[in-house]
């Protein structure tokens, strides 16, 4: 097994550094850093060095005496990616990028790593899924035939670690973590044990050498077993690709970020020449019907900092003895709950009907603010009556039939007004107050309960 990299200690002041530098970061003396740390040797225990390598010292100190160094960030220059990362790749940070096969993980990372290499950073692209020739082909396709990114086709962990030690890159991409295996384990490559152990080793290396490591993880179809989920707790940042592979739009969402905000999203369009950022994405998840159709309701979702308009579609159709409830992009348990609330509080019964709901464009909506739009889309489909042109709705619906406010309702309404929406049904607490400036062209119906929302919609027929 390759040994973990130890820290460098200054012979003058005893200060430590995660990597070798000409000048000691603590006392500014030149050529005084020597390899070796003050920590006891980790011994034979393979977990021994985990904690030692998290920080260069293992002394107990009051928080106030620990220097809170700001993270060194390296923007990739791809704005939408930097946005989800919280400003760029962080030195020594470990990023996990998950997503369905073919969604664009390798494409985006090659673009990012090439930009970093061009900015003067030392990079490394470890490919376990594709040959060097395939990666080269992709770089040609991306219009980067002169790319200087060093590529290592390798899947054995020990060899990868060795290359990381010897080249000391600023950033290394491991594409993908599921192909990497360690000699030290008997389980098959791609198994949970292998994936976990390899990721743990790479994480330790990142912390001890200051190399940023990006792990690519496929979301496996057979549940999330050996998929990226098992790694979420050990990395600093978790990004997931969303989007329908049949549409061009891709969304990257930060699920966890120790160095930035979570739920921030980056939006891209897959083009002939790779992924291009979409800086004004709010209207891309609408399926542009010329005339409104039954079973469709637009909502404004606001996860992260940017509002997005997303069309929710529902189809209610007579079902068999055990009717189906299916949802794509929305939570299925929540759908069952909303159907019960519709029945109990608004008198809309779908017990003997199949109910399908879908968020257009492959987006996943986890916020409860989608409830009202889901319920209105279902009712619209059941009645066979379209909602009016330019209609939007948002708001959480509780079990008692109450409509609860969504966070930052004003921003959502502003975006809807900006895009020319005309009618909005929203929770009372989200509606503008008496003295607030009205949203131009947008008539707002504040509601307190689901029955009221239904009444408003019927009144608009
Ligand atoms: P890829 O990055 O290989 O996906 P992943 O690594 O997530 O499995 O992307 C594959 C898809 O993207 C593939 O279907 C081809 C398409 N593509 C483009 O449309 N334009 C391009 O410039 C590139 C490189 C890929
Ligand atoms: Mg790939």
Lowest mean pLDDT among 67-76, 198-207, 362-371, 403-412: 67-76
pLDDT class of 451 with cuts at 50, 70, 90: very high
Question: Does 118 share its domain with 241?
Answer: yes
Residue 220 is predicted with a pLDDT of 66
Is the CB–ligand 1 distance for residue 138 below 6 Å?
yes
Q: Is residue 79 part of a domain?
A: yes
Is the CB–ligand 1 distance for residue 270 below 6 Å?
yes
Q: Is residue 63 part of a domain?
A: no
Q: Is residue 59 part of a domain?
A: no
Most ligand 1 atoms within 8 A of CB, residue of 270, 271, 272, 275 to mutate: 270
Is the CB–ligand 1 distance for residue 99 below 6 Å?
yes
**Of all protein residues, whose CA lies closest to atom 25 belonging to ligand 1?**
274
**Of all protein residues, whose CA lies closest to atom 8 belonging to ligand 1?**
102
Is the CB–ligand 1 distance for residue 250 below 6 Å?
no
Q: What is the pLDDT of residues 252-311, one digit of tens each?
A: 989 899 998 887 889 999 999 999 998 777 777 777 777 889 999 999 998 777 888 999
**Of all protein residues, whose CA lies closest to atom 21 belonging to ligand 1?**
274
Q: Is residue 62 part of a domain?
A: no
Question: Does 160 share its domain with 240?
Answer: yes
Is the CB–ligand 1 distance for residue 332 below 6 Å?
no
Question: Does 315 share its domain with 263?
Answer: no
Average pLDDT over all residues of the chain: 87
Q: Is the pLDDT of residue 165 over 70?
A: yes
Is the CB–ligand 1 distance for residue 109 below 6 Å?
no
C-alpha 269 to ligand 1 mean position (Å):
11
- Strand 212-218 and strand 171-175: the pairing is parallel
| Nearest bound ligand to the CA of residue 272 | 1
| Nearest bound ligand to the CA of residue 98 | 1
Between 13 and 352, name the one with better pLDDT: 352
Question: Does 16 share its domain with 93?
Answer: no
Question: Does 333 share its domain with 440?
Answer: yes
Reading the block at residue 44, the tokens are: 């034979």
Between 30 and 91, name the one with better pLDDT: 91
C-alpha 129 to ligand 2 mean position (Å):
7
Most trustworthy range by pLDDT among 29-43, 211-225, 345-359: 345-359
Question: Does 268 share its domain with 160?
Answer: yes
Whether pTM > 0.85 for this model: the answer is: no
Q: Distances in Å between the alpha carbon of 45 and those of 3, 29, 161, 269, 368?
A: 12, 35, 18, 47, 46
Q: With beta carbons less than 8 A apart as the criterion, state whether 172 and 164 touch.
A: yes
Q: With beta carbons less than 8 A apart as the criterion, state whether 227 and 219 touch.
A: yes
Q: Is residue 193 part of a domain?
A: yes
Question: Does 122 share its domain with 257?
Answer: yes
Q: Is the pLDDT of residue 49 over 60?
A: no
Q: What is the DSSP string of 375-401?
A: HHHHHHHHHT-PPPTTEEE--EE-TTS
C-alpha 301 to ligand 2 mean position (Å):
29
The angle at the Cα of 314, spanning 313 to 315, to the nearest 5 degrees, equals 135
Q: What is the pLDDT of residues 63-86, one digit of tens each?
A: 888 777 777 899 999 999 999 999
Residue 295 CB neighbours (<10 A): 25
Question: Does 211 share its domain with 134?
Answer: yes
Question: Does 367 share its domain with 406?
Answer: yes
Between 97 and 361, name the one with better pLDDT: 97
**Of all protein residues, whose CA lies closest to atom 15 belonging to ligand 1?**
102
Question: Does 313 share its domain with 425?
Answer: yes
E strands within 323-414? Answer: 325-328, 353-359, 391-393, 396-397, 403-404
Q: Is residue 35 part of a domain?
A: yes
How many domains, in total, are found in the chain?
A: 3
Question: Does 312 share its domain with 445?
Answer: yes
Q: Return the CATH number at 354.
A: 3.30.230.10
pLDDT class of 12 with cuts at 50, 70, 90: low
Question: Does 327 share its domain with 425?
Answer: yes
Q: Is residue 164 part of a domain?
A: yes
Q: Is the pLDDT of residue 233 over 60?
A: yes
Q: Return the CATH number at 146.
A: 3.40.50.300
Q: Is the pLDDT of residue 138 over 70?
A: yes
pLDDT class of 4 with cuts at 50, 70, 90: very low
Reading the block at residue 178, the tokens are: 């599921």
The residues, ordered by sequence, that sit 6+ positions from 322 with a Cβ below 8 Å of its Cβ are: none
Q: Of 220, 253, 279, which residue constitutes the final position of a domain? A: 279
C-alpha 186 to ligand 2 mean position (Å):
26
Q: Is residue 83 part of a domain?
A: yes
Q: Is the pLDDT of residue 143 over 80?
A: yes
Q: Is the pLDDT of residue 178 over 70?
A: yes
Domain range for 304 is: 296-459
């Amino acid at each position: 097994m390759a040994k973990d990299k130890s820290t460098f200690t200054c012979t003058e002041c005893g200060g430590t550094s995660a990597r070798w530098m000409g000048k000691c970061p603590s006392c500014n003396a030149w050529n005084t850093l020597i390899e070796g740390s003050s920590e006891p040797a980790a011994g034979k225990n393979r977990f021994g060095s985990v904690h030692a390598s998290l920080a260069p010292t293992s002394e107990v100190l009051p928080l106030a005496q620990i220097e809170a160094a700001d993270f060194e960030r390296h923007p990739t220059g791809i704005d939408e990616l930097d946005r989800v990362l919280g400003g760029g790749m962080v030195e020594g940070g470990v990023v996990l990028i998950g997503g369905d096969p073919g969604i664009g993980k390798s494409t985006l990372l090659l673009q990012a790593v090439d930009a970093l290499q061009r900015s003067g950073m030392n990079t490394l692209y470890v490919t376990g899924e594709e040959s060097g020739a395939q990666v080269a082909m992709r770089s040609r396709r991306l219009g980067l035939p002169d790319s200087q990114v060093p590529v290592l086709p390798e899947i054995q962990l020990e060899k990868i670690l060795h290359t990381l030690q010897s080249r000391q890159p600023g950033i290394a991409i491991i594409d993908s973590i599921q192909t990497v295996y360690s000699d030290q384990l008997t389980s098959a490559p791609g198994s949970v044990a292998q994936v976990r152990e390899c990721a743990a080793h790479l994480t330790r290396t990142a912390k001890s050498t200051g190399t940023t490591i990006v792990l690519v993880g496929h979301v496996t179809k057979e549940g999330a077993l050996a998929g990226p989920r098992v790694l979420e707790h050990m990395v600093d940042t978790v990004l997931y690709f969303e989007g329908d592979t049949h549409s061009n739009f891709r969304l990257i969402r930060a699920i966890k970020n120790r160095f930035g905000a979570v739920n921030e999203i980056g939006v891209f369009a897959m083009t002939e020449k790779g992924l291009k950022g979409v800086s004004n994405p709010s209207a891309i998840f609408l399926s542009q019907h010329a005339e409104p159709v039954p079973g469709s309701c637009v909502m404004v979702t606001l996860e992260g900092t940017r509002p997005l308009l997303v069309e929710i579609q529902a189809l209610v159709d007579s079902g068999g003895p055990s009717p189906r409830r299916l949802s794509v992009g929305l939570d299925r348990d929540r759908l069952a709950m909303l159907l019960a609330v519709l029945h109990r509080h608004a008198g809309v019964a779908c017990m003997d009907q199949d109910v399908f709901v879908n968020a257009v464009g492959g987006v996943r909506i986890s916020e409860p603010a989608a409830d009202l739009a889901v319920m209105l889309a279902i009712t619209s489909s059941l009645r066979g009556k379209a909602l009016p042109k330019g209609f939007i709705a948002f708001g959480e619906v509780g079990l008692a039939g109450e409509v609860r406010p969504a966070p930052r309702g004003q921003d959502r309404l502003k975006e809807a007004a900006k895009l020319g929406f005309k009618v909005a049904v929203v929770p009372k607490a989200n509606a503008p107050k008496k003295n607030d400036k009205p949203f131009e062209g947008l008539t707002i119906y504040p509601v307190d309960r689901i029955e009221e929302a239904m009444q408003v919609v019927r009144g608009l027929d």
